Amino acid sequence: MSTITVPEQKTDASSEAAVAAFMERVEAQSAGEKVFHQAVREAVRSVMPLVLTTPAYRQARILERMVVPDRVIIFRVTWVDDKGQVQVNRGYRVQMNGAIGPYKGGLRFHPSVNIGILKFLAFEQTLKNSLTTLPMGGAKGGSDFDPHSRTDGEIMRFCHAFMNELYSYIGPDIDVPAGDMGVGGREIGFLFGQYRKLTHRFNGVLTGKGFNWGGSNLRPEATGYGAVYFAQEMLASREQEIAGKVATVSGSGNVAQYTVEKLNALGAKSVTLSDSEGTIVDMDGINSDKLAWVMQLKNVRRGRIREYAEHFKGAKFLPGKRPWDVPCDLAFPSATQNELDAVDASNLVKNGCTCVSEGANMPSTPEAVEVFLEHHILYGPGKAANAGGVAVSGLEMSQNATCLQRTREDVDAQLRRIMKSIHANCVRYGSIEGETGNGKPGRFVNYLRGANIAGFIKVADAMVQQGVL
Residues engaged in binding ligand NDP (CB under 6 A): 179-182, 223, 251-256, 274-276, 334-336, 339, 359-361, 386, 389
Q: How far is the CB of 284 from ligand NDP (least distance, A)?
A: 21
Q: How many CA atoms lie within 13 A of 411 on its CB side?
A: 28
- Clarify whether 383 is annotated catalytic: no
Q: How far apart are CA 360 and CA 338, in angstroms?
A: 10
Instruction: Tell me whether residue 223 or residue 248 sits nearer to ligand NDP (CB atom).
Output: 223
- Give me the least distance between CB of 226 and ligand NDP, in Å please: 9
Q: Are 207 and 397 in contact (CB under 8 A)?
A: yes
274/260 Cα distance (integer angstroms): 12
Q: Of all residues in this chain, which one has the CB nearest to ligand NDP in the complex? A: 253
Catalytic residue among 104, 119, 128, 140: 140
Handedness of CA 233, 235, 239, 241 (dihedral sign): negative
> Which one, 179 or 214, has the nearer CB to ligand NDP?
179
Q: Which is nearer to ligand NDP, 251 or 437 (CB)?
A: 251
Q: Which is nearer to ligand NDP, 359 or 381 (CB)?
A: 359
Task: Quote the least distance from Cβ 257 to ligand NDP, whole Å.
Answer: 8
Beta carbon nearer to ligand NDP, 22 or 103: 103
Name the minimum Å distance from CB 390 to ligand NDP: 6
Nearer to ligand NDP, 312 or 444 (CB): 312
CA pseudo-torsion sign 164, 168, 170, 171:
positive
* Cβ proximity to ligand NDP, 50 vs 222, nearer residue: 222
- Please report how close the Cβ of residue 240 comes to ligand NDP at its closest, in angstroms: 25
| Nearest residue (CB) to ligand NDP, 108 versus 376 | 108
Q: How far is the CB of 442 from ligand NDP (least distance, A)?
A: 32
> Shortest Cβ distance from residue 109 to ligand NDP (Å)?
8
Supply the minimum distance, in Å, between the C-beta of residue 422 and ligand NDP. 13
Task: Catalogue the active-site residues.
Answer: 140
